[in-house]
Structure 1
Amino acid sequence: MNFRFQNLLGAAYRGGNVVISGDSLLSPVGNRISVTDLIKSHTLTLPFEAKSNVSRIAVSPDGDFLLVVDDSSRALFVNLPRRTVLHHITFKKRVTALRFSSDGSLIAVGLGKLLQIWRSPSFRKEFFPFKLVRTFSDCAAAITSLDWSPNSDYILVGSKDLAVRLFCVKKTEVRTRPFLFLGHREPVVGVFFGTEKKTTRVCRVYTISRDGAIFTWNLDEISSSEDNSGGSICNPPQQRNLEGESDDNNKVIADEIGTAIVDRKRKRECSDDVDADTSGIPLHRMKWELLKKDFFMQAPARLTTCDYHRELDMVVVGFSNGVFGLYQMPDFVCVHLLSISREKITTAVFNKLGNWLTFGCAKLGQLLVWEWRSESYILKQQGHYFDVNCLAYSPDSQMLATGADDNKVKVWTVSSGFCFITFSEHTNAVTAVSFMDNNHCLLSASLDGTVRAWDLFRYRNFRTFTTPSPRQFVSLAVDQSGEVICAGTIDSFEIFVWSMKTSRLLDILSGHQGPVHGLMFSPTNGVLASSSWDKTVRIWDVFEGKGAVETFQHNHDVLTVSYRPDGKQLACSTLDGQITFWDPLDGILMYTIEGRRDIAGGRLMTDRRSAANSTSGKYFTTLCYSADGSYILAGGSSKYICMYDVADQVLLRRFQITRNLSLDGVLDFLNSKRMTDDGPLDLIDDENSDVDVGIDQQRRGNLGQGLPGAITNLGRPIARTKCLKISPTGRSWAAATTEGVLMYSIDDSFIFDPTDLDIDVTPEAVDSALSEAQHQRALLLSLRLNEESLIKKCIFFVKTSDIPSIASSIPVKYLQRLMEVFSDLLESCPHLEFILQWCQELCKRHGHFIRQNSRTLLPALRSLQKSITKLHQDLMDVCPSNEYSLQYLCSTGSR
């Protein structure tokens, strides 16, 4: 029961801006944040959730803090290394721009027309960590972009009123208006400070608008010096008219500037500093001139995103037609001009060194990291951009296959969270996937009337199974031998049987009077079970050709069917919310679980009844037994996944798959204030809105899986679970939900979960024991702390000759944890003989205890066996191909 959320697959990017912090790429996925390690090629999802879809994120310059803002203007301040939420704050308006200052002490937030400067919280304990420093209300329209100066004293602000403003963050005795950069004909998309290469002094400003124009503004130091030498105001005359300041204010400002000039002259006399010419004059009071105007010439496409790298003086821009360009400034030399796709690029950013470019496309769910010097991809990931319908684990639990409404089949590596192959030959939605037992072949069924077999070695479609007349397949099953393939249809209510070797149609099983949505072979024999909307579950003897040998009648439509791993029990879900368990050998009804109250989720916006009185969605559409058959997972058109104890028929736990208020069916009670004469306010489209159209807007009109009695929701996507699978090792399970594939696991080493903790058990005590060569004591202390990094550190300090004695002294309660660590080391550590010797000694010294407690230790033993088997297969492939090289090295070493 100790399953915890681990990762989110099936979607790499869903909209908003992405940020690179060090070697990690942070991207919003719904109301979660995905973190991709670009060096280790590993992705994980942070454990917290925002209230709704994330719209803006920002990372502090040192990479310690992350600020996440959702569509409801709720913000989370996160300790990024520890992945924990420190503070919450709700802004009063929609956040349109967000950025940390260069030193990380301040945060600039664009709230519509307002610009607010907040003090950044830190690690210290405070009653109210967020403190509002300043508020600027000079903009006439919504703010679109921000940029801080290198010293964090000034900030550039671009807005939809076609103007760019330069603000001074520090307060002065007399409030002054910002400097205005005018001339653009469309809303400003990006604003950036440019600096000299040898110093950090600001010398130019770049402003970029949506029509593809980039203006370069230079700091006119000579004119500013001449204008200020006579004590005149350094703002242009037209700006003084806009400001409307009084003569008294002008005199005060002139006096301030005169004093600054005197101080500057004194500094110039005492020092030859280059920056002394303008060090005493504020930037927003100096004179800026428009150096030149350049155009990217991509009409009729619009410029949608841009970024600037200050050290390299380069600009990257993305357009609505999928084209991006990289330009060297200020000469405006095009370095690269390429096309990613035909869809709009919604984000483009540089990394800190400037050698990597990151692009995101919200409509395709695509995320790319491109090394522009070598013109090679560092990362290329694209998730499903429609709902995931089905998934399946490989027999070794290393891979996960998914099929979706976008007609694609994707195969993911579970450990890294990356998709390594995509099959797109299907021409309609993929409804079922299944791995063969040999781990090298994948099958998929689709509504296009085909069942396809995919080779995972050569990555090709080597078999296609069809029918004499077109049919739509919604279920798929493969027998244990891999010789027979069965698929159920939604239109003809038949089950088709093919031979895997010859692709020939062997038989057509008829008898159902409704769509065959559930199909599964018995794990122990060749018996096939099928469930249909005709209120029956039928047992078929496929190999003997006897047809239906048993029929189990129900009172309502049967939605799915599942065999227990030992083949002695059959579970099926019906439309009335019950899970019925049968004995397939004797044909006896064993017991029934009433799950209507357990699966009941939130209220849909189109419902006219409360969630308690509504009958929609109170049923299970997918079932899955655990590896040992002791519990069963059940999910459906609800925000909950239920875990039941099979023997006692009791609810063990409910997992809430999402708390995203951007989805429908999450809230139990709706706010009547959001209801209008035309319907719910959230379902009314604003034609004038220019919000980026992402994945959520595409999925409108989902038909609720086509279930009988399902209500069509033409508004927001509904929170639901379409498929559930438990890994063969029993250590994790996956759920195909509206937001993607949610991974839950009990192998989460990051969470601090000490086994036996007291005041003397500390990391310092472990280091002290290692320094005194007390390796046994250090290992026991690390096991009590249960921190994986410390355990691994202590293991490698042990000498090979000391392994038998230390292994025999390990308490039996730590055996499972130690096996899990060794299983992980075998997959990533090069010291194979050392780790295998540890495993051998543990089995020798504690073999009796392992045999007596094999049921408890079974998951850890299976994980260890899986790692050793995979390692053995890899060595078998490497050694024969390098036989002569090994012989040569051995002969050289003997000499």
Structure 2
Amino acid sequence: MNFRFQNLLGAPYRGGNAVVLDDSLLSPVGNRVSVTDLVKSHALTLPFEATSNISRIAVSPDGKFLLTVDDSSRALFINLRRRVVLHHITFKKRVTALRFSPDGSRIAVGLGKLLQIWRSPGFRKEFFPFKLVRTFADCAASITSLDWSPDSDYILVGSKDLAVRLFFLKKTKVRTRPFLFLGHREPVVGAFFSIEKKNSRVCRVYTISRDGAIFTWNLEGSSHSEDKSGGSISDHTEQRNLEGQLDENDKAIEDRKRKRESLDDVDADTFGIPLHKMKWELLKKDFFMQAPARLTTCDYHRELDMVVVGFSNGVFGLYQMPDFVCIHLLSISREKITTAVFNRLGNWLTFGCAKLGQLLVWEWRSESYILKQQGHYFDVNCVAYSPDSQMLATGADDNKVKVWTASSGFCFITFSEHTNAVTAVNFMANNHCLLSASLDGTVRAWDLFRYRNFRIFTTPSPRQFVSLAVDQSGEIICAGTVDSFEIFVWSMKTGRLLDILSGHQGPVHGLMFSPTNAILASSSWDKTVRLWDVFEGKGAVETFQHNHDVLTVVFRPDGKQVACSTLDGQIIFWDSLDGILMYTIEGKRDIAGGRLMTDRRSAANSTSGKYFTTLCYSADGSYILAGGSSKYICMYDVAEQVLLRRFQITHNLSLDGVLDFLNSKRMTDAGPLDLIDDENSDVDVGIDKQRRENLGQGLPGSVTNLGRPIIRTKCLKISPTGRSWAAATTEGVLIYSIDESFIFYPTDLDIDVTPEAVDSALSEALHQRALLISLRLNEGSLIKKCIFFVKTADIPAIASSIPVKYLQRLMEVFSDLLENCPHMEFILQWCQELFKIHGSFIRQNFRSLLPALRSLQKSITKLHQDMMDVCSSNEYLLQYLCSTGSKIN
């Protein structure tokens, strides 16, 4: 039962800003934050959740803290290295901009028209960790961008009132007004400080507006400030002084110098005067010339003095400043680019497109992709593990099939040949072939070596497939339909239609072959579960009648039991050999939870959604997972028919069906306030609006639904190793894995079984005793430590003394070591001796040890593949070197 959230796959990037921290990319995914290691090609999702979809994120300069703000203006302050939430705060208005100061001590927050400066919390335990330092109310419209000066004393604020303001943050005796940069004709998208490389002082300001204009403002007296004749202003000033002529600008500078003593508590810049009191001049205006497209995002890199901009037509540009030289001008899509940022070194550009759910990392010097990931745009319908548990396949309403690496969380291939929603996926037993069924009337076979569609299974007349099954030999393919209520049978080798199984009087939504024989089980809305002998051609050999529609059916891994769920919320277990009813689980109250916005009744009194649409047995068949149109996934003990645990898959209030009780304050005469479309017409929205417009697609007579996506679980699968399971939900594919590193059995403990006893036994070279004590404590780190203290010659003797009840735990430790440690031969020798000595016990208890055996097989297979690749590469390299050497001689 000790499953914990591990990762989120297939969820699209829904908008908001992305942040690149060293070699990692942080991006909001729903109400979570995804972290992608761009060097190791590994993606993970942080374990915390916000209350709704995250709209803004910011990372402290030292990379220790992460601040996230969601659509409800609730903020989480997170220790990024420990991945734990330290503090919470709720802002009073919607947050439109967010940024840490360069020294990390303060946070600038744009709240509509207000600019607030907060003290940044640290690791200290405080009752009020967030302290409001200053509030500026000078803006006339919502703030759109923020940029700190290198010394953290000034901040540039761009807003929708077409102006950019320069604020001085230190308090003075007399209230000072910000300096205004004016001239733009559309809302400002970005404003940035530029510094001199010699003395690291601010010399320029760039302001960028939505109409594609970039203004360059120079600080008077800067060494880079030039007039129309091409000479610097300081040179001309010196020349005029020699001539004894002072113009108005020179007099103004002298006046500022005389007022220097009157400014208290003010840090001086070049002339001893704060930046917001100095004179700025508009040096030039440049235009990106992408009309009618609008500029949607931009970023600036100070060390390289470069600007990257993204437009609403999918075009991005990279420009060298201040000369405004175009380095790259390319198109990555036809949709709006919602975020574009530099990494710290400036060699990588990160782009996000919310409408496509896509994130790209591009190396602009070599013009190559570092990362190109895209989640499923619409809901994921199905998920399947490969036989070795290394790959995960998903199919969704966006007509795509994606294959993911389970360990890294990366999608390495996308198949897009289907023309309608993908409803079922299934791996072949050989691990090299994937099958998918779709509503477009085809079942396609995909080659995972050459990444191509090598076979298409069709029917004489168009049909819509909603279920799929493959026998253990991989010779027979079966698919159930939603319209003709038939089951079609094909030959995998020839692709020929062999048989059509008729008898159901409703859509066939459940289909599965027995793991031990050629019996096919099918479930239908006609209130029956039928068993078919496909090879003998006898038709239905058994029919199980039910009182309500049957939604899905699954076989136990040993093939001796069939479980099905019905519309009245029950899970019914049948003996597949004798055809008798074994157990019944009443799960209506267990899965109930969450009230929809359109419900007229409370969650407790509503009957909608109180049934299971997907079931999955554990690897040993001792428990079963069940999910449906609810925020819960239930785990039941099969033998005792009791609820072991409920997993709440999300706390995201941006989804419907999460709250048990709706807020009466949000109700109006026109209905729930969340269902009223009161969006401003000039606000650009990304994937959320697009999802609302497409929620009704595929349903006859459906209309546009302005509500929120409804949380539901459409498919559940447990990995063959039994160490993890996947749930295809509205948010994406949630991966839960088991963690037994701190699980121990109280009966194995006594006063002498302690970590100190392990260290003492190791110091006395009692390796056998140390290993047995660590196994009784069941702490993974201690077990690994004891294994590496054993000499190679002593492995057979110590392996023979291991009690059989610890074999499963020891195999799990070896599986983990093979994936993460370099001592490959040593661990494989341990495994070999363990199987030699305890082989008979393993054969007799194969079913109970199956998850651990499959986990070990997965690790050895992956290791073999890596070694094979290295050896092949070395072989070709040696051939090349030998051929080159012979030519030289």
TM-score normalised per structure 2: 0.89
Report the equivalent of 1:136.
Answer: 136
Q: Residue 95 of structure 1 contacts residue 111 of structure 1 at CA under 8 Å; is this kept in 2?
A: yes
Q: Residues 533-682 of structure 1 correspond to what in structure 2 (within 5 A)?
A: 533-682=525-674
Residues 420 and 112 of structure 1: CA distance in aligned 2, closer, same or farther (over 3 Å):
same
| Separation (CA, whole Å) in 1 of partners of 2:58 and 2:625 | 38
Q: Residues 325-340 of structure 1 correspond to what in structure 2 (within 5 A)?
A: 325-340=317-332
Residues 780 and 480 of structure 1: CA distance in aligned 2, closer, same or farther (over 3 Å):
closer
Q: Residue 170 of structure 2 contacts residue 265 of structure 2 at CA under 8 Å; is this kept in 1?
A: no
Deviation at 1:830, TM superposition (A): 4.0
Report the equivalent of 1:200.
Answer: 200
Q: What secondary structure does 1:277 align onto? A: coil
The Cα offsets for residues 353-385 of structure 1, whole Å up to 9 and x where unpaired, read as 111111111111111111111111111101100
Q: Residues 360-399 of structure 1 correspond to what in structure 2 (within 5 A)?
A: 360-399=352-391
Q: What secondary structure does 1:686 align onto? A: coil
469-478 vs 674-683, greater mean Cα deviation:
674-683
Specify the code of the residue in structure 1 equivalent to 2:79. Answer: N
The Cα offsets for residues 574-594 of structure 1, whole Å up to 9 and x where unpaired, read as 111111111222221222111
Residues 83 and 754 of structure 1: CA distance in aligned 2, closer, same or farther (over 3 Å):
farther
Q: What secondary structure does 2:161 align onto? A: coil
Q: What is the number of residues matched between the two proteins?
A: 862
Report the equivalent of 1:277.
Answer: 270
Specify the code of the residue in structure 1 equivalent to 2:5. Answer: F
The Cα offsets for residues 849-891 of structure 1, whole Å up to 9 and x where unpaired, read as 978987765533331232224434565677689779999999x
Q: Residue 33 of structure 1 contacts residue 46 of structure 1 at CA under 8 Å; is this kept in 2?
A: yes
Q: What secondary structure does 1:597 align onto? A: helix
Deviation at 1:461, TM superposition (A): 0.6
The Cα offsets for residues 84-134 of structure 1, whole Å up to 9 and x where unpaired, read as 001111111111000000011100011111111111111111111111111
| Separation (CA, whole Å) in 1 of partners of 2:59 and 2:404 | 28
2:881 is the counterpart of 1:868: no
Residues 853 and 361 of structure 1: CA distance in aligned 2, closer, same or farther (over 3 Å):
same
Q: Residues 276-425 of structure 1 correspond to what in structure 2 (within 5 A)?
A: 277-278=270-271, 280-425=272-417
Q: What secondary structure does 1:367 align onto? A: strand
Q: Residue 235 of structure 1 contacts residue 285 of structure 1 at CA under 8 Å; is this kept in 2?
A: no
| Separation (CA, whole Å) in 2 of partners of 1:47 and 1:748 | 18
Specify the code of the residue in structure 1 equivalent to 2:274. Answer: P
Specify the code of the residue in structure 2 equivalent to 1:149. Answer: S
2:489 is the counterpart of 1:497: yes
User: Pick from 257, 268, 273: which aligns with 2:260?
Assistant: 257
Report the equivalent of 1:685.
Answer: 677
Specify the code of the residue in structure 1 equivalent to 2:162. Answer: L
Q: Residue 489 of structure 1 contacts residue 495 of structure 1 at CA under 8 Å; is this kept in 2?
A: yes
2:189 is the counterpart of 1:189: yes
Specify the code of the residue in structure 2 equivalent to 1:464. Answer: I
Deviation at 1:797, TM superposition (A): 7.3
The Cα offsets for residues 252-285 of structure 1, whole Å up to 9 and x where unpaired, read as x997534569999xxxxxxxxxx9733x311111
| Separation (CA, whole Å) in 1 of partners of 2:745 and 2:515 | 39
Specify the code of the residue in structure 1 equivalent to 2:270. Answer: D
| Separation (CA, whole Å) in 1 of partners of 2:273 and 2:18 | 36
471-480 vs 580-589, greater mean Cα deviation:
580-589
Residues 144 and 854 of structure 1: CA distance in aligned 2, closer, same or farther (over 3 Å):
same
Q: Residue 234 of structure 1 contacts residue 285 of structure 1 at CA under 8 Å; is this kept in 2?
A: no
Specify the code of the residue in structure 1 equivalent to 2:452. Answer: R
Report the equivalent of 1:447.
Answer: 439
Q: What secondary structure does 2:692 align onto? A: coil
Q: Residue 15 of structure 1 contacts residue 692 of structure 1 at CA under 8 Å; is this kept in 2?
A: no
Q: Residue 620 of structure 2 contacts residue 850 of structure 2 at CA under 8 Å; is this kept in 1?
A: no
Report the equivalent of 2:456.
Answer: 464
Residues 813 and 14 of structure 1: CA distance in aligned 2, closer, same or farther (over 3 Å):
farther
Deviation at 1:824, TM superposition (A): 2.8
Q: What secondary structure does 1:501 align onto? A: coil
Report the equivalent of 1:68.
Answer: 68
The Cα offsets for residues 313-346 of structure 1, whole Å up to 9 and x where unpaired, read as 1111111111111111111111111111111111
Residues 781 and 310 of structure 1: CA distance in aligned 2, closer, same or farther (over 3 Å):
farther
Specify the code of the residue in structure 2 equivalent to 1:174. Answer: V
| Separation (CA, whole Å) in 1 of partners of 2:502 and 2:350 | 53
Report the equivalent of 1:893.
Answer: none
| Separation (CA, whole Å) in 2 of partners of 1:884 and 1:464 | 37
| Separation (CA, whole Å) in 2 of partners of 1:517 and 1:236 | 85
Specify the code of the residue in structure 2 equivalent to 1:325. Answer: G
| Separation (CA, whole Å) in 2 of partners of 1:524 and 1:25 | 46
Specify the code of the residue in structure 2 equivalent to 1:672. Answer: S
User: Pick from 495, 505, 509: which aligns with 2:501?
Assistant: 509
Deviation at 1:22, TM superposition (A): 1.5
2:85 is the counterpart of 1:85: yes
| Separation (CA, whole Å) in 2 of partners of 1:288 and 1:236 | 16
Residues 122 and 689 of structure 1: CA distance in aligned 2, closer, same or farther (over 3 Å):
farther
| Separation (CA, whole Å) in 1 of partners of 2:744 and 2:698 | 44
Deviation at 1:642, TM superposition (A): 0.6
Q: Residue 583 of structure 1 contacts residue 589 of structure 1 at CA under 8 Å; is this kept in 2?
A: yes
Residues 782 and 309 of structure 1: CA distance in aligned 2, closer, same or farther (over 3 Å):
farther
Deviation at 1:525, TM superposition (A): 1.2
Q: Residue 513 of structure 1 contacts residue 533 of structure 1 at CA under 8 Å; is this kept in 2?
A: yes
Deviation at 1:236, TM superposition (A): 13
The Cα offsets for residues 751-803 of structure 1, whole Å up to 9 and x where unpaired, read as 9999999999899x999999999999998999899886787678667765676
Specify the code of the residue in structure 2 equivalent to 1:277. Answer: T
Residues 289 and 340 of structure 1: CA distance in aligned 2, closer, same or farther (over 3 Å):
same
Q: What secondary structure does 1:824 align onto? A: helix
Specify the code of the residue in structure 2 equivalent to 1:641. Answer: I
2:726 is the counterpart of 1:734: yes
Specify the code of the residue in structure 2 equivalent to 1:4. Answer: R
Residues 446 and 851 of structure 1: CA distance in aligned 2, closer, same or farther (over 3 Å):
closer
825-834 vs 420-429, greater mean Cα deviation:
825-834
Q: What secondary structure does 1:700 align onto? A: helix
Deviation at 1:844, TM superposition (A): 6.6
Deviation at 1:307, TM superposition (A): 0.6
| Separation (CA, whole Å) in 1 of partners of 2:750 and 2:63 | 31
| Separation (CA, whole Å) in 2 of partners of 1:13 and 1:648 | 42
Report the equivalent of 1:270.
Answer: none
Residues 214 and 889 of structure 1: CA distance in aligned 2, closer, same or farther (over 3 Å):
closer
Report the equivalent of 2:217.
Answer: 217
The Cα offsets for residues 217-268 of structure 1, whole Å up to 9 and x where unpaired, read as 11102799999x99x999999xxxxxxxxxxxxx9x997534569999xxxx
Specify the code of the residue in structure 1 equivalent to 2:482. Answer: I
Q: Residue 7 of structure 2 contacts residue 409 of structure 2 at CA under 8 Å; is this kept in 1?
A: yes
Q: Residue 616 of structure 1 contacts residue 711 of structure 1 at CA under 8 Å; is this kept in 2?
A: no
Residues 340 and 617 of structure 1: CA distance in aligned 2, closer, same or farther (over 3 Å):
same
Q: What secondary structure does 1:221 align onto? A: coil
Q: What secondary structure does 2:192 align onto? A: strand
Q: What secondary structure does 1:139 align onto? A: coil
Report the equivalent of 1:246.
Answer: none
- Give unpaired runs (5+ residues) of structure 1: 238-250, 265-274, 891-895
| Separation (CA, whole Å) in 1 of partners of 2:248 and 2:4 | 63
The Cα offsets for residues 456-505 of structure 1, whole Å up to 9 and x where unpaired, read as 01111110011111111111111111111111111111111111111111
The Cα offsets for residues 804-846 of structure 1, whole Å up to 9 and x where unpaired, read as 6887898988765554343233234443212223434555788
Residues 83 and 772 of structure 1: CA distance in aligned 2, closer, same or farther (over 3 Å):
farther
Residues 679 and 435 of structure 1: CA distance in aligned 2, closer, same or farther (over 3 Å):
same
2:529 is the counterpart of 1:526: no
Specify the code of the residue in structure 2 equivalent to 1:528. Answer: L
Q: Residue 761 of structure 1 contacts residue 784 of structure 1 at CA under 8 Å; is this kept in 2?
A: no
Report the equivalent of 2:831.
Answer: 839
Percent identity for Structure 1 against Structure 2:
86
